Amino acid sequence: MFESFTPFAAYEDIVLLFVRVSLGVAMMYFGWDKVRDLRANADDFTKMGFKPGWFWGTLIALLEFGGGLLMIGGIFVGFVAFLFGFQMALGGIMKVFKWKKPFSDSSYDFILLALTLVFLTYGPGAYVLFR
């Protein structure tokens, strides 16, 4: 009965815009503290086992904040979604298997991974600044 229930199908591009902006804002939010204090972020990455911490910490800070901006604008969405997806998959797996965190600590990573898969499957939608 509900297998063909798709009331928003006619609004696919608006839904993709909403999801894209939501993902971009979330990534910018989490990247902002990292960008603001790259030294502390580098120390955090070193403590997590990512060495050299300055390299990985800076890379992730720029990916999250800059990639969030690109995602919001619809610029290079497929590439940015791939990088976000890789980051979220690695982070989620590390939290579960290496750091033995409960699923509640990694569920956010897997939700963001799922959102990146939307863009890798359907593209950015019609409302973009640059394809």
Share of the chain above pLDDT 70, in %: 98
Question: What is the span of the domain harbouring residue 39?
Answer: 17-122
Does residue 130 form part of some domain?
no
What confidence tens digit (pLDDT) does each residue in 95-122 have?
Answer: 999 889 898 898 999 999 999 999 999 9
The pLDDT of residue 26 is above 70: yes
* Residue 89 covered by a domain: yes
pLDDT confidence of 20, banded at 50, 70, 90? very high
For 76-89, write each residue's pLDDT tens digit. Answer: 999 999 999 999 99
Cα–Cα distances (Å) from 105 to 50, 93, 94, 111, in that order, read: 19, 11, 11, 12
**Sign of the dihedral through C-alpha 119, 81, 71, 110:** positive
Q: Has residue 28 been placed in a domain? A: yes
Q: Which range among 47-56, 61-70, 100-109 shows the weakest confidence by mean pLDDT?
A: 100-109
CB 53 within 8 A of CB 46: yes
Count of domains in the chain?
Answer: 1
* 29 in any annotated domain: yes
> Environment class of residue 103 by beta-carbon count within 10 Å: exposed (0-12), middle (13-18) or buried (19+)?
exposed
Judge whether 12 lies within some domain. Answer: no
**Residue 6 counted as domain residue:** no
Q: Is residue 73 part of a domain?
A: yes
The answer to whether residue 114 sits within a structural domain is: yes
Give backbone dihedrals phi and psi of 52, rounded to 5 degrees, phi first.
Answer: -75, 135
pLDDT given for residue 1 in this prediction: 63
